[in-house]
Chain A
Amino acid sequence: MRRLLEKYSAKMVAAGLAEIGNPLLGGLDAELEWNREDSAIPVLEEVFRGLNINSLLFSLPAEPYRSIIDFLASEDAGHIRPEDSETRTFMHDLPVIKDFRSDMIIDKLRNRKSVIVKGKGIVTWGTVSPEQAFIFYSSVCFACFVKFFSDYLRDSRRGLVTTGQERVFRNALKYLDRYPDEPPELMSGPFRNREDVYRAVAQAGRLTVEHRLVDSFFGNVSLKWGDTLFISQTTSSLDELEGCIDPCPLDGSACTSITASSEFSAHMSILRLTGMDAILHGHPKFSVIMSMDCQKANCPTRGSCHTSCPEKRFIRDIPIVPGEVGTGPFGLCNTLPPAMEGNRGVIVYGHGLFTVSKIDFKTAFKNLLSIERMCQEEYFKHLG
């Protein structure tokens, strides 16, 4: 347990989600263990006693998340309600409390995966592994970032930006991810054997995380090689794909895709329709923010844009399509693959960006970077 606590503490720091020495993680089997000493432990021990869980995480987010979350927490009484796909699907809403008190924390965590304590940090939990607490924490940071920048753009257009909002925005700009002009060196195809394919998929996943093009594990990677699709497994961390790649026969003769990414069906359809071999899917923040930026007044589908947007929307040459995670009636497996034909990338509304290439990941990765950079530029262009 101790090893896992330290692993996820280090991951939070590496992902820019917390500063060194800040994440406090507790793991409970027969005994309770912490990754470090902290004065917050007595309160969190009460939380452990009040909930049927095995892990807790408490941390003050690193900038810019700290200022953003504090701002949103002061604006929204009781709950922050981001509208990105992750929150909508998995988190529902983000409760906020004023005081770091065990009874208040327990009350909120009885029915939600996280609670934001104003000015103090975020508390999340797991019932199986500290990894769940890490994922929920990461999702809160991501969702709040997307909501803040989306709200700022909307309010800026209307001339409604407040002083506090402006101050947080200016501060956040100092911490924006900077992307290199050139993509990193990736393995070149065509690949000679399965081992190289596994290594190429793992490398693409790791670089996607290292370039901050995805939050927590919510992305996926695949490569067609011969008659098999090699795809990252569901809930796998893209920076740790070794041993977490499923080889799925294209003819469906084995059910190994049962543990594959939730977007397996979309990947298969994209390959069939486009003739491409490699697919990268990340959640770059500005691609997600810009996908949710719509100025159409009195739209009859407002509120269900993620499933039913009837418009053909683009950010420059990149199409935006509606679609929910997975394979339901509104699943992105229905909307994404046809949009991918003839395009270098497609953004799914409020969710993330998909790119493709032939033989290896070089072009797909290059496009992932350049489209996110382009969305960042577009964001500031829209601000004027």
Chain B
Amino acid sequence: MRKHTYPINREELLYGKPGKGRILLVDLSSAEYRYEEIDPDICRFWIGGKGLAGYYLFPEITRSWKNPSMPLVFMTGPLTGTLAPASGRTCVMSKSPLTGTVGDCSVGGSLGWQLKKAGIDGLVITGRSQNLCGIEISDGNVSIEDAGWLAGASANEFYEKLKRKGSVAGIGPAAENGVLFSSIMVDGTFAAGRGGAGLVSASKNLKYITVHGTGRVPVHDSERLRSASEDIRRLVAATPALTGEHGLQNCGTAALYDLISSRRMMPAANFRRTFFNKASSMNSHAYSDEYNPKRYGCKGCHILCKRVGEDGTHLPEYETMSHFSALIENENLRAVTEANRICNEAGMDTISAGATLACFSEITGEKLTPDRITELLIGMASGRGEGSELGQGSYLYAKSKGCPELSMSVKGMELPGYDPRGAYGMALGYVTSTRGACHLRAYPISHEILRKPVATDRFSFAGKARIVKIAEDMNAVIDSLTVCKFLFFGCSLEEYASAYSAVTGIETSAQDLLAAGERIYFRDRMMNAKCGFTSKDDDLPPRFFSEEGSSGNGIEISPLNREEFLETRSKYYRIRGLDPQGFPLSSKAKELGLENLL
């Protein structure tokens, strides 16, 4: 393999000016790379992270995800590597193999931090290597290395072998074996999970990336950044969902398990029910008893919401806990952690894997035992045995069996652990999400369940069209700043706008950022429209409109009213600037400054 040396002055690389963007472009077909400086106006227009990653994806979005020209983008945010709390995430973006939509994930770990310290704001990978390879970056020096020796290696195996080289991102055997919902695993346990970015990496014959940096991330006004960071930390401390006795800091996302159960909206038996009788014995408390966990988390975050048991077992997040227990009716706690381990080692999205098992269980009528869960998951990841056909996700599997309606998915992506009959904003948010059924694009759970910033009526569509639209804009900003969404249970863009200005020297406001967020989300819709997505794809499985959930404890879980749902979706289209078929209006594109993308 060819070795390359860094082409520009190292001092300039590591001590550059804030507000500029430096992108590393790697072409795996030619094994060449180059650096590109981005115009500061473009950085300001798209913020960073998701916004800037889409700048590189947009021109290629109509290609197949397998096409070597399809970029796989890793983009940091403008605050990454600085004091700004929880700002070290990375946006991973490409076209989703699972859905065919724009596919982006916000992933934790230390990847973004190391990229920034290596003087790199983003990494754009195109082409296809002849052999399985890895990209190694150290303070801007780049080499493309043979990775044949790591073929088939699990996330933990390749992480252990490569971690001395810095942060490690890579794919497990699931991606190498064609699983449509395969992840890119960062630093062993952090997953860019949803939508199948791992498979895009596999299509490029790219097994791993390592990044090590020793530079300093430039900050325009350190005192202002310190002040903004203090404001953020004060608000975090005032938020029980984050730092309370049972908040994410003390219990991880597992804290949500009891709450969602008590609201009778925990999906069970492939969404045939919304209550799981064994929930109280499989909650955060039960995991603590069983594993006596310690907490850890992403670089630069003081919440530390992840958990590892004293025996080294990585504990599942809420979605994984819920899907590998209630959704597949598994009552064995250790089977949940084992399923979580297999998915993470193989590099598979746990939500899609769990939901696909649930779909399989409903179609076949088979009750899944712990051993059977293990067998099917290994089959998925290895592409062998009965599990192999499940690696295509629940939609293609159910369709192949003649019952696509039993796939609980939107645009082919499986629903996570919040039943839409228990939170109507969530019902709308699932269908308007540009990457398929995702709870994080609008995150209505924040106000419908967690009461942040204030509570809304979870059983009403009233006002939800605009609430969802504004929240999508806001979360597009958060993913572009590459900040953790959880912090916004307590903070607002007001505080992060100040941090942004402090770091970049660009004066901005919460509303300026929101305007950029609207632009970024609208561009997602434009990309999906180019790929043929219409209002027909913005819909929930029929089950949610015809079947009741599990009412009880004075809470009634009724089917969603289809008329009200469609009316709210129509309102959303008008508010978002889409036509009745869900296509972006050119007038809106012009209003947002996107006329050059029409």
**Chain A residues near B (Cβ < 8 Å):** 1, 4, 27-30, 50-54, 88-90, 92, 106, 109-113, 126-129, 131-132, 135, 233-236, 244, 248, 252-262, 264-265, 268, 324-331
Contact = CB atoms under 8 A, between A and B. Distances in A.
A129 B244 contact: no
Interface string B453-495: 1111000001111110011011000000000000000000010
Contacts of A262: 238-240, 244
Q: Which of A52, A53, A330 has the most CB of B within 10 A?
A: A52
B257 A255 contact: yes
B453 A258 contact: no
Interface stretch (B110-118, B228-236, B266-274, B431-439): B228-236
B324 to A, nearest CB: 18
Interface stretch (B198-206, B304-312, B508-516, B537-545): B508-516
B108 to A, nearest CB: 21
Given A92-B231, A110-B509, A28 B243 contact: no
Contacts of B450: 258-259
Contacts of A268: 245
Q: Is the interface of A mostly helix, strand, loop or mixed?
A: loop
Given A236-B451, A326-B239, A264 B463 contact: no
A72 to B, nearest CB: 22
Q: Which of A127, A235, A325 has the most CB of B within 10 A?
A: A127
A127 B470 contact: yes
B295 interface: no
15 contacts: A53-B470, A90-B235, A110-B509, A111-B498, A127-B467, A248-B246, A252-B245, A252-B285, A257-B245, A258-B246, A258-B259, A262-B239, A327-B237, A327-B243, A328-B238
B238 A111 contact: no
A30 B449 contact: no
Closest 9 CB pairs of A and B: A328-B237, A110-B509, A30-B571, A110-B511, A326-B238, A325-B238, A111-B509, A255-B246, A326-B237
B240 A264 contact: yes
Contacts of B515: 52
B365 to A, nearest CB: 33
A48 to B, nearest CB: 11
A268 B250 CA distance: 15
Contact of B244 (A54, A254, A257): A257
Given A29-B463, A262-B239, A328 B251 contact: no
B512 A256 contact: no
A110 B512 contact: yes
A317 B494 CA distance: 40
Contacts, number: 172
Nearest to B251: A255
Range class of the B interface residue count:
35 or more
Nearest to A134: B454
B466 A29 contact: yes
Given A89-B234, A258-B247, A326-B238, 14 more contacts: A1-B463, A4-B463, A89-B235, A128-B447, A233-B451, A234-B451, A254-B283, A255-B285, A258-B255, A262-B239, A262-B244, A324-B234, A327-B237, A327-B243
Contact of B236 (A4, A233, A236, A328): A328
A128 B462 CA distance: 11
Given A30-B466, A127-B467, A328-B234, A258 B454 contact: no
B284 A235 contact: no
Q: Which of B452, B497, B509, B512 has the most CB of A within 10 A?
A: B509
A50 B471 CA distance: 17
B235 to A, nearest CB: 7
B280 interface: yes
A90 B237 CA distance: 12
B469 to A, nearest CB: 9
Contacts of A260: 240, 244, 246
A254 B254 CA distance: 11
A260 B509 CA distance: 31
Given A112-B494, A255-B251, A327 B456 contact: no
B495 to A, nearest CB: 8
A30 B256 CA distance: 32
Q: Is the interface of B mostly helix, strand, loop or mixed?
A: helix
B241 A29 contact: no
A52 B473 contact: yes
Contacts of B449: 259
Given A52-B514, A235-B455, A236-B451, A27 B463 contact: yes
Q: Which of A28, A30, A113, A252 has the most CB of B within 10 A?
A: A30
A158 B258 CA distance: 56
Contact of A131 (B237, B454, B575): B454
B534 interface: no
Contacts of B238: 89, 262, 324-326, 328
A109 B235 CA distance: 19
A210 to B, nearest CB: 21
Nearest to B448: A128
B511 A111 contact: yes
B233 A30 contact: no
Given A255-B246, A328-B233, A29 B254 contact: no
B418 to A, nearest CB: 15
A296 to B, nearest CB: 24
B574 interface: yes
Given A255-B284, A327-B244, A235 B454 contact: yes
Contact of A254 (B280, B471, B473): B280
B453 A132 contact: yes
Contacts of A235: 451-455
B262 interface: yes
A37 to B, nearest CB: 22
A54 B494 contact: no
B518 interface: yes
A129 B571 CA distance: 17
Contacts of A326: 237-240, 243-244
Given A30-B574, A54-B467, A255 B283 contact: yes
Given A1-B462, A128-B456, A258 B280 contact: no
Contact of A54 (B285, B451, B470, B498): B470
A264 B453 contact: no
Nearest to A131: B454
Contacts of A111: 494, 497-498, 509-511
B485 to A, nearest CB: 15
B119 to A, nearest CB: 31
A138 to B, nearest CB: 13
B451 A52 contact: no
A30 B447 CA distance: 20
Contacts of A233: 451, 455
Q: Which of A252, A255, A264, A268 has the most CB of B within 10 A?
A: A255
Q: Which of B234, B235, B240, B452 has the most CB of A within 10 A?
A: B240
Contacts of A52: 470, 473, 511, 514-515, 518
A52 B520 CA distance: 14
Given A256-B246, A257-B244, A331-B237, A128 B467 contact: yes
Contacts of B247: 258
Contacts of A327: 237, 243-245
Nearest to A52: B514
Given A30-B575, A129-B456, A236-B455, A258 B240 contact: yes
B246 A129 contact: no
Contacts of B254: 255
B214 to A, nearest CB: 30
A253 B285 contact: yes
Nearest to B259: A258
A300 B203 CA distance: 63
Contacts of A256: 246, 258-259, 262
Nearest to A2: B462
B452 A51 contact: no
A63 to B, nearest CB: 28
B510 A255 contact: no
Q: Which of B233, B463, B518 has the most CB of A within 10 A?
A: B463
B502 to A, nearest CB: 13
